[in-house]
Amino acid sequence: MRALIQRVSRASVQVDSEEAASIGRGYLVLLGVGAGDGEEQAAWLAHKIAGLRLFEDDAGRMNLGLKDVEGAVLAVSQFTLYGDARKGRRPSFTQAAPPAQAEELYHRFCDLLAAEGVPVEKGVFQAHMEVALVNDGPVTLWLEREP
């Protein structure tokens, strides 16, 4: 399972020109589910993201987490994180989980993150989304937990 985390001052998702979800301060999490992923990967990532300290304290150091700043997560499923473009010009997505498995683990990840006390908003699974964000910093972090 892969997550691209961006610290944001705000982020939103639109589907068919209508806002589907939005947050203020927090993290935009682009989540990719791999073919071999399961509960262990979802739980590890949710716990790790809930505890990350990516916000600056009064001294300018990244010592504050989501709960400290009353932040939220906008979680967006993104199978293209498993795109492999090493050969040819069109990426292969054979390492991505099939849609049914990916959707189940995406929702499970969101539930586990919410159980950690983090407010979670969701994108729309398998929809064409327009994601808008203001990356704060910019701060971007890549996390991966392989099966």
Catalytic residue among 14, 41, 79, 109: 79
> Please, which residues have CB within 8 angstroms of residue 11's CB and are 6 or more apart in sequence?
22, 23, 26, 28, 74, 131, 132, 133, 134
DSSP 8-state class, residue 92: B
Digit-coded pLDDT (tens) for 62-77: 999 999 999 999 999 9
What dihedral do alpha carbons 18, 97, 106, 29 form, nearest 10°? Answer: -70
Catalytic residue among 80, 95, 101, 140: 80
Q: Give the global pTM.
A: 0.95
B/e letters for 57-70, b = 16+ CB within 10 Å, e = fewer, are: eeeeeeebbbeebe
Active site residue 78: yes
Digit-coded pLDDT (tens) for 85-105: 999 999 999 999 999 999 999
CA–CA–CA angle 35, 45, 140 (5° rounding): 100
Catalytic residue among 6, 14, 41, 78: 78
Dihedrals φ, ψ of 105, to 5°?
A: -75, -30
> Per the structure, how many domains does the chain have?
1
- The CATH number of residue 45's host domain is 3.50.80.10
Cα 131 from Cα 129, distance rounded (Å): 6
Digit-coded pLDDT (tens) for 7-26: 999 999 999 999 999 999 99
User: For residue 85, what are the domain limits?
Assistant: 2-144
Q: pLDDT band at residue 147, thresholds of 50, 70 and 90?
A: confident
